[in-house]
């Protein structure tokens, strides 16, 4: 009977090729408790600091958009030239990395050399969404860890805070993600924070005739100026969602409707007519947003994955086996 189950799983893995060769129960025989082990580690980390949630979620995005979802962002280079050392990744909070490292250590203790860091990051990301009150979803697994992690390969691969809709759509489309997916994934900005220098131009130097971005709600602009005066300490961070910054909900979209998107790339989702309808729907219907977010997260998790004999199963998420 067990041999039959193994054969069935092998067939599922083969048929899963159309979906990036990932399957939900990939470790059903080799590490059946992996999701529970990761969940426990994530919960412990969360009990120590809330930053665990936005940091892990952001880490997953940054990993998948550069080299694919292969944990290449986890590599620590003694020369400071790995993916995580690039200018665009320096703001990634250490708690996200630490969450994956702790979860990997817990998994290795029970299933040595079996589960990839890429899969652990994918599971942990789902878990932090749930911890923040967001929707749960089944995570497809079977990723292997990538063998390339270079700071020089990051530039131009991640969305910038001043992107317009065309730039956002172009970047997401390169990963087989639609405008609808992009708007849903932008909802992750309902959690987390940003440093003042990422949006200061909207407050002080938007255009010569309009120093303050006119798409910003005036009251919100004043609040941001109070929190982010010119020449402010660059380490000062502001909540992305001024209403419910610690809850995964659809408040992000309600904020956009009110002119309270922190980045230009947030607010443009409402000011551009071609995306405004989706934002309005998500603002009015949390069920629609949650469903779209889950679908988009599963699609994101398939981006340029390494499977089969590609890559490796890292024993330590921060360094290549060799």
19 is in an annotated binding site: no
167-176, Cβ contacts within 8 angstroms, sequence gap of 24 or more: 168/265, 168/268, 171/65, 175/64, 175/65, 175/300, 175/303, 175/304, 176/299, 176/302, 176/303
DSSP 109: H
Gap between the Cα atoms of 182 and 265, Å rounded: 11
100 is in an annotated binding site: no
Gap between the Cα atoms of 87 and 318, Å rounded: 19
229 is in an annotated binding site: no
Check: CB of residue 262 under 8 Å from CB of residue 238.
Answer: yes
72 is in an annotated binding site: yes
145 is in an annotated binding site: no
63 is in an annotated binding site: yes
Query: Can you read off the two tokens belonging to residue 153?
Result: 């390969």
195 is in an annotated binding site: no
181 is in an annotated binding site: no
- Residue 276 Cα to chain centre, angstroms: 23
271 is in an annotated binding site: no
Query: What stretch of H or E contains 194?
Result: strand 193-195
Catalytic member of 62, 198, 254, 314 = 62
* 62 belongs to the catalytic site: yes
- Report the relative pairing of strands 193-195 and 237-239 from DSSP bridges: antiparallel
129 is in an annotated binding site: no
Check: CB of residue 9 under 8 Å from CB of residue 28.
Answer: yes
* Known binding residues for Ca(2+): 63, 66, 68, 70, 72, 83, 190, 241, 244, 249
* Known binding residues for substrate: 159
- Give catalytic residue positions: 62
* Known binding residues: 63, 66, 68, 70, 72, 83, 159, 189-190, 241, 244, 249
* Known binding residues for heme b: 189
């Amino acid at each position: 009977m067990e041999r039959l189950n193994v054969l069935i799983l092998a067939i599922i893995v083969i048929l899963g090729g159309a979906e990036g060769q990932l399957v939900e129960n990939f470790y059903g025989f080799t590490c059946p408790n992996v999701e529970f082990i990761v969940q426990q580690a994530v919960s412990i980390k969360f009990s120590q600091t809330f930053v665990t949630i936005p940091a892990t979620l952001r880490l997953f995005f940054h990993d998948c958009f550069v080299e694919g979802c292969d944990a290449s962002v986890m590599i620590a280079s003694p020369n400071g030239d790995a993916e995580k050392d690039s200018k665009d990744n320096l703001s990634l909070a250490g708690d996200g990395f630490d969450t994956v490292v702790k979860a990997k250590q817990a998994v290795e203790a029970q299933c040595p050399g079996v589960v990839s860091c890429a899969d652990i990051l994918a599971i942990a990301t789902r878990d932090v969404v749930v911890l923040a009150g967001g929707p749960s979803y089944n995570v497809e697994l079977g990723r292997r860890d990538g063998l390339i992690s270079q700071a020089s390969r990051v530039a131009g691969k991640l969305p910038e805070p001043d992107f317009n809709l065309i730039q956002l759509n172009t970047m997401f489309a390169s990963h087989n993600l639609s405008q609808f997916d992009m708007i849903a994934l932008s909802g992750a900005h309902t959690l987390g924070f940003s440093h003042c220098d990422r949006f200061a131009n909207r407050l002080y130097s938007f255009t010569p005739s309009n120093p303050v971005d006119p798409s910003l709600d005036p009251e919100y602009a004043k609040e941001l100026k109070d929190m982010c005066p010119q020449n402010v300490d660059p380490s000062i961070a502001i909540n992305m969602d001024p209403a419910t910054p610690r809850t995964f909900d659809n408040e992000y979209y309600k904020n956009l409707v009110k002119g309270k998107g922190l980045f230009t790339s947030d607010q443009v989702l409402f000011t551009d007519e071609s995306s405004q309808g989706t934002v309005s729907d998500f603002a009015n219907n949390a069920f629609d947003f949650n469903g779209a977010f889950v679908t988009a997260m599963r699609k994101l998790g398939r981006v340029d994955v390494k499977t089969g004999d590609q890559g490796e199963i890292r024993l330590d998420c921060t360094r290549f086996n060799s």
